[in-house]
């Protein structure tokens, strides 16, 4: 009986997977980069990467299939595949592969840690050290490391990553070396700098324009399978985080050139624009 039930479940699973996802054009999807192999979009907070079930819509995948904000993909085309994940309430840069070959190449880059990732985190307080590397487990219990740098605060008098950050809220640039579940959220909390609105890890409830945890996937640096060339894709800061940072009076610190984990020029330009 157990074998029969397992076989039935497998058959149903195969049938459900064969159902094509819903095509759902949306003007909410912002395309950051596109070539023959891949697509990078700016995921809004509150929208899942994939639907709960393949016959349902409402996810970024459905939007991509629906035409990437109105630009329809010529048929027939392989189903786009997300190459990594972002939490439901995390906004920012999200990569989709257009072909199975591109998916294999891109996911290999993520798995082998060749993708350089940067997150902007709006935190309730600066870390105990303004520039630090946090080593500790992610939610899965596996070892993980994240570099945290203060890039904006209400004082904005020193270099990014320098000591002497003012008390109160700040904007951190977080560079996770792995991709563990909730890694950046856990490590910000472990550094004494929980993310604003992240009640699970000590950041309290959302406030004002920010009614979710203040975490944004700011940038990805990776190699395009189509061109073989490295590229940096930066996602403009989500509007709710931008408004919350401005309400807190945050201003960019000076560049702090040469410091480990410091902003790239493109990352810094995106944050500077958001906080002007």
CB 50 within 8 A of CB 59: yes
Catalytic residues: 87
Neighbour tally for 7: CB within 10 Å: 10
The SS3 of residue 11 is helix
Report the C-alpha gap between 196 and 24 in whole angstroms.
Answer: 32
Say if strands 91-97 and 215-223 run parallel, antiparallel, or are unpaired.
parallel
Q: Which two tokens stand for residue 249?
A: 């009076």
CB 160 within 8 A of CB 254: yes
Report the C-alpha gap between 191 and 127 in whole angstroms.
Answer: 5
């Amino acid at each position: 009986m157990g074998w029969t039930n397992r076989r039935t479940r497998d058959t149903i699973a195969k049938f459900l997977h064969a159902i094509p996802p819903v095509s759902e054009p949306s003007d909410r999807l912002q395309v950051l980069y596109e070539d023959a192999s891949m697509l990078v979009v700016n995921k809004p907070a509150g929208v899942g990467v994939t639907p709960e079930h393949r016959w349902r819509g409402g996810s970024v995948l459905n939007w991509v299939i629906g035409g990437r904000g109105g630009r329809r993909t010529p048929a027939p085309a392989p189903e786009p595949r997300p190459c990594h994940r972002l939490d439901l309430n995390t906004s920012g840069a999200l990569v989709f592969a257009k072909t199975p070959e591109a998916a294999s190449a891109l996911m290999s880059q993520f798995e082998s840690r060749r993708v350089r990732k940067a997150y902007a985190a709006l935190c309730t307080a600066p870390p105990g050290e303004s520039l630090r590397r946090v080593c500790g487990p992610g939610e899965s219990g596996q070892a993980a490391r994240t570099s945290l740098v203060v890039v904006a605060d209400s004082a904005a008098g020193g270099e990014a990553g320098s000591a002497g950050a003012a008390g109160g809220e700040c904007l951190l640039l977080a560079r996770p070396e792995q991709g563990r579940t909730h890694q950046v959220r856990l490590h910000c909390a472990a550094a004494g700098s929980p993310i604003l609105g992240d009640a699970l890890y000590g950041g309290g409830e959302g406030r004002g324009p920010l009614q979710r945890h203040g975490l944004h996937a700011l940038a990805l640096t990776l190699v395009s399978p189509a061109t073989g060339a490295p590229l940096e894709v930066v996602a403009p800061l989500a509007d709710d985080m931008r408004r919350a940072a401005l309400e807190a009076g945050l201003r960019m610190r000076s560049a702090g050139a040469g410091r480990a984990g410091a902003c790239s020029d493109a990352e810094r330009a995106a944050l500077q624009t958001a906080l002007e």
